[in-house]
Amino acid sequence: MALPKVELHVHLEGTIARPENTDANFMSLGDFLGVYDKGMEKLQTARDFHDVTLAYLRRAADDEVRHVEMFFDPEPHMERGIAAGAMVDGIEEAIDTASRELSTPAGAHITANMIFSWQRNRGVRSAEACLQAMAPYVGRVVGVGTSSDYVASWPEQYAPLYHKAESLGFRKCCHAGELTDGSDGDWSGMERALKLIDPERIDHGYRCVADPSGRLLEAVVEKQVHLTVCPLSNARLRCINSLAEHPLRRLIDSGCNISLNSDDPGYVSDAERHLTQVFALCSDQFELSLDELANISKSAARAAFISE
Ligand code: HPA
Ligand code: ZN
């Protein structure tokens, strides 16, 4: 699709090709994360971070993506002895090269930012050490997110660290409202995250529609907090049974500020990998008009952590 696109939710470690002996049908988020955590062990040196980043930006540029904001998970890499600076240097060099040398089919340049992400299942002590390691790179790393498995009371646990990160200059986002199981990965965790963490963007967040009082959806619309939704990922990780169950149409019709994203493009099938395919499959399923598709790109561009 020639539509210019902006991608705000893609994990660097999720762009690596999934191991040969695994298929793209996961039983759950936890099942996926086991494979994902193993797959990222291939990243060892600054050069590896560079190569994986540049390979992804090449595919994105070919797909008419004009701007990418990429998560990376420092904690497991730090645990393997990789210095924070090596990750940042490697990713940054690839971003610089991409912005100088790559162009999209329409002849546009591609820009990118990096966002470090806490792995929530590792706990706040690990997250605190990670924040300290990332602090010298604020600006080169534009924001902080939280991903991986959901744990009980994570908004309460992580809010103080988010405030610290914000005071250091990191922009805030977090994965929330991704699961349909009534846990703190579902709408109630998202509601408390909105209050306690006050992120500019929520990654996924589609479960705001499940609050029976309707207040969470209202708050999302009223605050215009941006939701980086990934409907194909949600179906693939079995958070929902099929794409048809995703409330994308309702989010759009309710006036939510959303973007469409791939999440972990290396781990899905060839037919669902590229952002164009995410747009096309969602467009078919939810009868998105050209205006609506263009609005999604505009909304993503406005929500990018480019400048205040
Ligand atoms: N959810 C939570 N953590 C993740 C994901 C996701 O979809 N992808 C990579 N880490
Ligand atoms: Zn994600």
8, 13, 33: residue to mutate for ligand 1 pocket, most atoms within 8 A of CB: 33
Cα(13) to ligand 1 centroid in Å equals 10
HSE-up (13 A, CA, CB side) for residue 283 = 16
For atom 3 of ligand 1, the residue with the nearest CA is: 148
Cα(106) to ligand 1 centroid in Å equals 31
Mean pLDDT of 111-134: 98
Name the closest ligand to CA 72: 1
Domain boundaries, the chain: 5-303
Cα(193) to ligand 2 centroid in Å equals 16
On average, the pLDDT of the chain sits at 97
Closest ligand 1 atom to the C-alpha of 150?
A: 2
Mean pLDDT of 163-187: 98
Q: What does the pLDDT look like over 133-158, one tens digit per residue? A: 999 999 999 999 999 999 999 999 99
Closest ligand 1 atom to the C-alpha of 73?
A: 10
- Which residue ranges have their beta carbon within 6 Å of ligand 1? 11, 14, 29, 36, 147-148, 175, 178, 233, 263-264
Which positions are catalytic?
A: 178
**pTM beyond 0.95:** yes
Q: What does the pLDDT look like over 17-75, one tens digit per residue? A: 988 877 778 999 999 999 999 999 999 999 999 999 999 999 999 999 999 999 999 99
**Residues that place a CB less than 5 A from ion ligand 2:** 263
Model confidence at 308: pLDDT above 80: no
Percent of the chain with pLDDT over 90: 95
For 204, the 3-state DSSP assignment is strand
Cα–Cα dist 245/252, whole Å: 15
Cα–Cα dist 257/223, whole Å: 9
Q: Which amino acid, residue 38?
A: K
Q: Helix-strand-coil percent breakdown of the chain, rounded to 5? A: 50, 15, 30
Q: Which residues contact 305 (CB under 8 A, 6 or more apart)?
A: 69, 113, 115, 142, 143, 171, 200
Instruction: Assign 213 a pLDDT band (cuts: 50, 70, 90).
Output: very high
Residue 219 burial (C-beta neighbours within 10 Å; 0-12, 13-18, 19+): middle
Model confidence at 1: pLDDT above 70: no
List the structure tokens of 221. 């619309």
| Listed residue (99, 154, 165, 96) closest to 128, CA to CA | 165
Q: Find out whether 246 and 293 touch, Cβ atoms under 8 Å.
A: no
Within 10 angstroms of residue 230's Cβ, the number of other Cβ atoms is 27
DSSP label of 263: B
Closest ligand 1 atom to the C-alpha of 36?
A: 9
pLDDT at 144: 99
Name the closest ligand to CA 150: 1
Instruction: Write down the CATH number for the domain with range 5-303.
Output: 3.20.20.140
Name the closest ligand to CA 146: 1
Interface predicted TM-score of the whole assembly (ipTM), two decimals: 0.94
Q: What are phi and psi of 203, to 5 degrees?
A: -85, 120
For atom 4 of ligand 1, the residue with the nearest CA is: 148
Mean pLDDT of 219-241: 97
Lowest mean pLDDT among 12-21, 107-116, 133-142, 169-178: 12-21
Mean pLDDT of 154-167: 98
Model confidence at 103: pLDDT above 60: yes
